[in-house]
Amino acid sequence: MAGGECLISSLSFLAPSAGFLHDFPVTGHDVREALQQAGVVPSKKLGQNFLTDPNTARWIVDQLDPGPDDFVVEVGPGTGSLSEALAGRVRRLLLIEFDRRLADWLKHRFAKDEAVEVVHADGARFDLRPLFKERPVKLVGNLPYSAGGAILRNFLERPSPICRAVLMLQREVIDRIVAKPRTKQYGVLSLRMQSEWVSNPIKTIGPSVFYPRPAIDSTVVEVSPRSDEFPVYDARFFDELIRRGFSQRRKQLRKALPAEPEWSEVAANLGVAETARAEELDLAQWVELCRCYDPHPLSKIPQRDDELFDVVDGQDQVVGQEERSVVHEKHLLHRAVHVFILNKRGEVFLQKRSRLKDAQPGVWGSSVSGHLNSGEDYESCAVRELGEEAGQQNIEQDMGQLNRVAILPPTKETGWEFVHLFEARQTDPIRFPCSEVEAGIWMPPGEVCAWLSKRPEDFSSGFISCWRAWKAVR
């Protein structure tokens, strides 16, 4: 995800004009009056079609199953038909409105409700990073026809803080999302969504409940995260491959793929013809295709239980060697490094640990971390791990790009490891093996502190110890 500089913030209120705080719109007449008060003429270019039926609005909100602990984001609230049905039912409601005039109107409408925040922003570019600390986060919206696909990608690509979504878009977009192989609707959007989410269309909505009336039907779809039914794979490389594969969808897929490995071998492994086109492969086959062509040397190599570690005493002196599995099972003292990578904006890269990890899988941790091999020193291990786990191949210790900032003693939280914590400046694009890392994200340090304070369970215990040590010296 591209990291922006701005986090969630509120806009200044404008002085209301006479009649501005009209009763909240619940009918077509009220929607028209609200638009008139806000000075808005519906824009076809912006895809503005406003929901006017309160029963439909309440039904859509009910499908989200909102609860008092939920943080709900609504994109494109317009005149607030869904917002009214949500207010008072959830812990926090964040309304993201692209049209400044409507955003100002909504801010005045909800000025007395401290649980509602209105932000004037583009939903396709909104910075999601502050939402991770607010989970559970749910997404709802009558998405504008002009930007629905871009908004979906921003909110639902890996990693996403969203745990459930109920969205209304034009019917043709939903048809593309749920499309099957060998159909004209099946393509990049289908695979992007299906690889991460299960989408269930639940109702078709006709034009009569919108103002102005669109020329096409809309569909309401409920979206939930896909379970871990597929082997681990690199989501970024997956996206690159499907874009290449469908760039000329009528041509044979082999022409869009890397030279190695041989397509004939891969096709046989997938059970498809060598003349297959992109639209002929189903999701499972695309995932396996991604795994076959993944160029990272460690993409299929998670940790090995027979790795040899140095076992040390309380003074960090080597007293022997033992296999990884034994060291962890018996809680023997051993050695490890953690490294925080910082970019030019001062943001820290966090990695989400792969579900294949033998310790604390699926939680967020340091930019890179790893055990010392037998006979290896801490600095050499840090440089190696930076290259293997983050693609930082040009780190030079003598150039000030790698600095030791703390030494942590072995504790239960660190996994009985002596930990040397380093700080490194980014030198290359981040690139990690899917066997080790599920996803990564750049975070401002202040946002990490806020996230850690609200949801410490989202992080590995070793990272928490390292973060506190890092903050203590900064």
Q: What is the pLDDT of residue 6?
A: 37
CB 378 within 8 A of CB 405: no
What stretches of 132-262 show up as alpha helix (H) in DSSP? 148-156, 171-177, 188-196, 235-246
pLDDT digits (tens, 9 = 90+) for 225-254: 999 999 999 999 999 999 999 999 999 999
In angstroms, the CA 340 to CA 311 distance is: 25
pLDDT digits (tens, 9 = 90+) for 319-339: 999 999 999 999 999 999 999
Question: DSSP states of 31-60 as a string?
Answer: HHHHHHHHT----TTTT--EE--HHHHHHH
Tally the C-alpha atoms within 13 A of residue 466's C-alpha that lie toward its C-beta: 31
pLDDT band at 140; cut points 50, 70, 90: very high
Q: What is the pLDDT of residue 5?
A: 33
CB 73 within 8 A of CB 101: no
User: Whole-prediction pTM value?
Assistant: 0.90
Residues 6+ apart with CB under 8 A from 409: 418
φ, ψ dihedrals at 25, nearest 5°: -65, 130
Q: For the chain, give the mean pLDDT.
A: 91
pLDDT digits (tens, 9 = 90+) for 74-96: 999 999 999 999 999 999 999 99
For the cut 90, the answer to whether the pLDDT of residue 474 exceeds it is: no
Please give the CATH number for the structural domain made up of 28-225. Answer: 3.40.50.150
Tell me, yes or no, if the two domains 235-293 and 308-472 fold the same way: no
Question: DSSP states of 123-149 as a string?
Answer: TTT---GGGGGG-SEEEEEE--TTTHH
Label the pairing between strands 318-323 and 364-365: unpaired
Average pLDDT over residues 365-383: 95
Tally the C-alpha atoms within 13 A of residue 203's C-alpha that lie toward its C-beta: 11
Q: Which two tokens stand for residue 69?
A: 């602990």
pLDDT band at 358; cut points 50, 70, 90: confident
Q: What is the pLDDT of residue 307?
A: 85
Buried b (16+ CB within 10 A) or exposed e, 342-363: beeeebbbbbbbbebbeeeeee
For the cut 90, the answer to whether the pLDDT of residue 306 exceeds it is: no
Alpha-carbon torsion, ordered 151, 152, 156, 157, to 10 deg:
-90
Q: What is the pLDDT of residue 23?
A: 45
Ranges assigned E (strand) in 274-375: 308-312, 318-323, 334-342, 348-353, 364-365, 368-371
Would you kindly state where each structural domain of the chain is located, as residue ranges?
A: 28-225, 235-293, 308-472
Residue 37's alpha-carbon distances to 25, 40, 72, 294, in angstroms, are 12, 8, 27, 55
Q: What is the pLDDT of residue 108?
A: 94
Direct distance between the N- and C-terminal alpha carbons of the chain, in angstroms, rounded to an integer: 26
In angstroms, the CA 351 to CA 363 distance is: 8
CB 214 within 8 A of CB 43: no
Average pLDDT over residues 117-124: 97
In angstroms, the CA 415 to CA 423 distance is: 21
Task: Tell me the torsion sign for CA atoms 153, 154, 155, 159.
Answer: positive
Least confident of 31-35, 345-349, 446-450, 465-469: 31-35
Residue with tokens 């290359």: 428
The CATH class for the domain spanning 308-472 reads alpha beta
pLDDT digits (tens, 9 = 90+) for 159-201: 999 999 999 999 999 999 999 999 999 999 999 999 999 999 9
The CATH class for the domain spanning 235-293 reads mainly alpha
Q: What is the pLDDT of residue 438?
A: 96
